[in-house]
Every structure is written in C-alpha cells, then in structure tokens.
Amino acid sequence: KRGVDRITCVLCPVRHGPMKPTDDGRWAHIACMHFIPETTAGDHVLQEPITGLQEVPQARFNMSCLVCHSMDGACVQCDFIPSSKKNQKLRSKATISKHGACF
C-alpha cells in the first residue's frame, strides 16, 4: 500500500484514480493520456504503456493551471474565453478539465 501511495501522475497533480505505466517507467492517468494529444497507449486494449511523453512540448509543463493554480504536470487548453480575458484561453490540467472545469 505504501508504494501505491507514492505513485503520481506525470501529467497532473492528482494522486488518485486509474493510472497506467509509461514507457519510461513513470505513471500517468488514462484520462490524462486521452486529453494530451501527444500521448497514446502502446496497446490500445490494455491502455498501456502510455507513450509519447517525450513529444509533449515543454510549454505545456511551464503553464500554471487557471483552475487549480498548480505547475505540476502538463496543461491542456480549450477554446473557452472568459469575458474578462478576451485574449486568454482557459488552460487546465487534464484531470481538472475532466471534472468540469472545461466541460
């Protein structure tokens, strides 16, 4: 159990939820893999290993989430534009988006 408690998603700050191993020995949520366009599953039935992490632009990791304000993981952007910020797209972590920030 202790080892499981230490597993974190390389793509977001959320520590719980279904994760799969990546091809470089880390872990990522299945949902994060589906939201980050550069990532995919090596085996589409088993949804593992998660591949393509090396293709994720560093810019995704350098953005802070507008919802949770975390710098952990990679952000995705949607086309929702808040009325007070006409030139700014909403950006959030994939698991945050999944739970209703964008959808």
Q: What is the pLDDT of residues 1-23, one digit of tens each?
A: 555 667 899 998 888 889 999 99
Ranges of the chain with pLDDT below 70: 1-5, 79-103
Query: Which residues lie closer than 8 Å to 38 by C-beta, 6 or more apart?
Result: 52, 53, 55, 56, 57
CA 72 to chain centre: 9
**pLDDT at residue 3, rounded to an integer:** 59
Measured between alpha carbons, how far is 47 from 49 in angstroms, rounded to an integer? 7
Q: Are 29 and 36 in contact (CB under 8 A)?
A: no
- Enumerate the domain spans of the chain: 2-101
Instruction: Say if CB 35 and CB 24 are below 8 A apart.
Output: no
